[in-house]
């Protein structure tokens, strides 16, 4: 045998390159504190069912607590020869408490251990991500409420369509993020299931009590099937899918911020602390934060495809392939947390340039639909109204005049139905106020929607 923990049946030591190639400790040490948490619960359960004595349990728990201290202090010495986080910690435990340390692994395998560690770790991380999502939503709702009366052009095909309120636009963002938040909390339910007890794949011959371990670790329940428990990583895929959709949304928001901060749009300003300059062009102030969020979206999509591909052909149950689940998951988490923090910090600091937004809404004939609706109310069929307004717009384009800038006589060239009351509907304020139903852009509706969004957030 060799001196490896599994070396009994081996007649020569592992090739030095293979040892490095198969090791995961450089990255899976990030699971260390959750590995210890899982081991303490496992040892506690083993004592409860009298597989360990109370003294053995106490020695194990004390040893693990000391190791946790070493890891937190940064004095723990990780060894590539010990392959992964699990064997590093177990070897150190045995170094500290002797033979009792070797009993910790009774009724357990690294297969159910690693699956448990990732779930415990991810559950904690999900709670952090959830708090950041709540902070971002809060910022959007507050800004939307404040900007319920601010008028901007709404776009389709990025061409001026109809006036909307800035508050309404911000609440559209909030809806996207609220759905992402729901997806995350739904994902958490499936993360929160305990693999321990599945052992290598078939379960264990010891009289374990999985309900005890699950309860100690705050899991909803033990996993139903041992083969599935050790091999399933779809919970990690699901988190990465949530992340991809979230970043798709943040990327859309980013794109709008990049457009809006340009001199050509000039709809908003971002404070200097969220921007950077150019090393050659002294006048520049670049929206780097939204640009980078837009860019980082791609790497998370990549991790989603990477994890799906990692799993797609694996036969049951555990395969070493699964060691490759960690780096994409960790990087997804780091990316999502960074992007969310940037957005949650930045959103409350967005400075709307109201005059410039309203001016833009005034250009581009954004009240043309209102004029058509006005004609319909006076008895004109909608298709005819559409044609009449189309001709008015063509006239306006030739003369360089918005609809609201035309005289009554000018407007009446196209339809004698038009009367002096037309000017009420041609104002931007009249246009948005008229869209006065749930989900509409009227300022009162925006304020009511902001209140409902705030209530939904409070009941989370
Ligand atoms: N480092 C391994 C992983 O991340 C732990 C489980 C190893 N199990 C095994 N039978 N080799 O997947």
pLDDT at 100 over 70: yes
pLDDT band at residue 21 using 50, 70 and 90 as cut-offs: very high
Q: What percent of the chain has pLDDT over 90?
A: 93
Place of tokens 């980078």: 292
Question: Quick one: pLDDT at residue 378?
Answer: 96
pTM of the model: 0.95
Q: How far is the CA of 323 from the centre of ligand 1 (A)?
A: 6
- Average pLDDT value for residue range 314-323: 98
- The neighbouring-strand residues paired with 159 are 156
Q: Indicate if 24 belongs to the active site.
A: no
- Share the mean pLDDT of the chain: 96
Q: What is the ipTM of this complex?
A: 0.96
Q: List phi, psi (to 5°) of 300.
A: -70, -40
pLDDT band at residue 379 using 50, 70 and 90 as cut-offs: very high
Cβ count within 10 A of residue 437: 9
Please tell me which residue in 34, 39, 157, 386 is annotated as part of the active site: 157
Q: Which residues line ligand 1 (CB under 6 A)?
A: 24, 28, 84, 110-111, 114, 318, 320, 322-323
* pLDDT tens string 249-268: 999 999 999 999 999 999 99
340-352 core/surface letters (b: 16 or more CB in 10 A; e: else): bebbbbbbeebeb
pLDDT at 154 over 90: yes
- Average pLDDT value for residue range 363-370: 91
According to DSSP, the β-strands at 221-222 and 159-165 are unpaired
* pLDDT tens string 397-434: 999 999 989 999 999 999 999 999 999 889 999 999 99
- Average pLDDT value for residue range 196-221: 98
Q: What domains sit in the chain, N to C, each tagged with a CATH number?
A: 7-106 (1.10.275.10), 111-206+220-358 (1.20.200.10), 360-458 (1.10.40.30)
pLDDT band at residue 460 using 50, 70 and 90 as cut-offs: confident
pLDDT at 218 over 90: yes
Please tell me which residue in 105, 109, 278, 366 is annotated as part of the active site: 278
Q: How far is the CA of 263 from the centre of ligand 1 (A)?
A: 54
Q: Indicate if 278 belongs to the active site.
A: yes
Going by alpha carbons, the residue nearest to atom 12 of ligand 1 is: 323
Q: How far is the CA of 24 from the centre of ligand 1 (A)?
A: 9
pLDDT at 356 over 80: yes
Cβ count within 10 A of residue 116: 31
Tell which atom from ligand 1 comes closest to the C-alpha of 200.
Answer: 10
Q: What percent of the chain has pLDDT over 70?
A: 100
pLDDT band at residue 1 using 50, 70 and 90 as cut-offs: low
- Average pLDDT value for residue range 156-183: 97
Q: How far is the CA of 320 from the centre of ligand 1 (A)?
A: 6
Residue 72's contacts (CB-CB under 8 Å, 6 or more residues apart) are: 33
Retrieve residue 309's tokens. 């591909």
């Amino acid at each position: 045998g060799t001196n490896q923990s599994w070396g009994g049946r081996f007649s020569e030591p592992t090739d030095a390159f293979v040892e490095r190639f198969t090791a995961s400790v450089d990255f899976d040490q990030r699971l260390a504190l959750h590995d210890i948490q899982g081991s303490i619960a496992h040892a506690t359960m083993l004592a409860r069912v009298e597989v360990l004595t109370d003294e053995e349990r106490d020695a194990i728990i004390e040893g693990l607590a000391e190791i946790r201290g070493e890891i937190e202090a940064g004095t723990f010495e990780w060894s590539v020869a010990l392959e992964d986080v699990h064997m590093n910690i177990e070897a150190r435990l045995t170094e500290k408490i002797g033979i009792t340390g070797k009993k910790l692994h009774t009724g357990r395998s690294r297969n159910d251990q690693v699956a448990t560690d990732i779930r415990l770790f991810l559950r904690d991380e999900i709670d952090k991500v959830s708090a950041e999502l709540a902070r971002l939503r809060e910022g959007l709702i507050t800004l939307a409420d404040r900007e319920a009366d601010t008028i901007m052009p709404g776009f389709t095909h990025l061409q001026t369509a109809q006036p909307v309120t800035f508050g309404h636009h911000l609440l559209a963002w909030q809806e996207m993020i609220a759905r992402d938040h729901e997806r995350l909390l739904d994902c958490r339910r499936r993360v929160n299931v305990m693999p321990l007890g599945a052992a290598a794949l078939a379960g264990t011959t010891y009289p374990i009590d999985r309900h005890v371990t699950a309860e100690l670790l705050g899991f909803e329940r033990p996993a139903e099937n041992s083969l599935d428990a050790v091999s399933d990583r779809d919970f990690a895929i699901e988190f990465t899918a949530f992340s991809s959709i979230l970043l798709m949304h943040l990327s859309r928001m980013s794109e709008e911020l990049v457009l809006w901060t340009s001199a050509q749009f000039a709809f908003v300003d971002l404070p200097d602390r969220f921007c950077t300059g150019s090393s050659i062009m002294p006048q520049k102030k670049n929206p780097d934060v939204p640009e980078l969020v837009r860019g980082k979206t791609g790497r998370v999509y990549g991790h989603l495809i990477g994890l799906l591909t990692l799993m797609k052909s694996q036969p049951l149950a555990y395969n070493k392939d699964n060691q490759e689940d960690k780096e994409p998951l960790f990087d997804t988490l780091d990316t999502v947390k960074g992007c969310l923090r940037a957005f949650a910090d930045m959103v409350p600091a967005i400075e709307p340039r109201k005059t410039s937004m309203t001016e833009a809404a005034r250009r581009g004939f954004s009240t043309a639909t209102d004029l058509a609706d006005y004609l319909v109310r006076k008895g004109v069929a909608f298709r005819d109204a559409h044609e009449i307004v189309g001709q008015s717009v063509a006239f306006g384009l030739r003369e360089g005049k918005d609809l609201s800038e035309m005289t009554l006589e000018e407007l009446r060239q196209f339809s004698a139905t038009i009367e002096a009351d037309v000017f009420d509907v041609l104002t931007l304020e009249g246009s948005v106020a008229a869209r006065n139903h749930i989900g509409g852009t009227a300022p009162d509706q925006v304020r009511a929607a902001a209140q409902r969004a705030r209530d939904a957030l409070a009941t989370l």
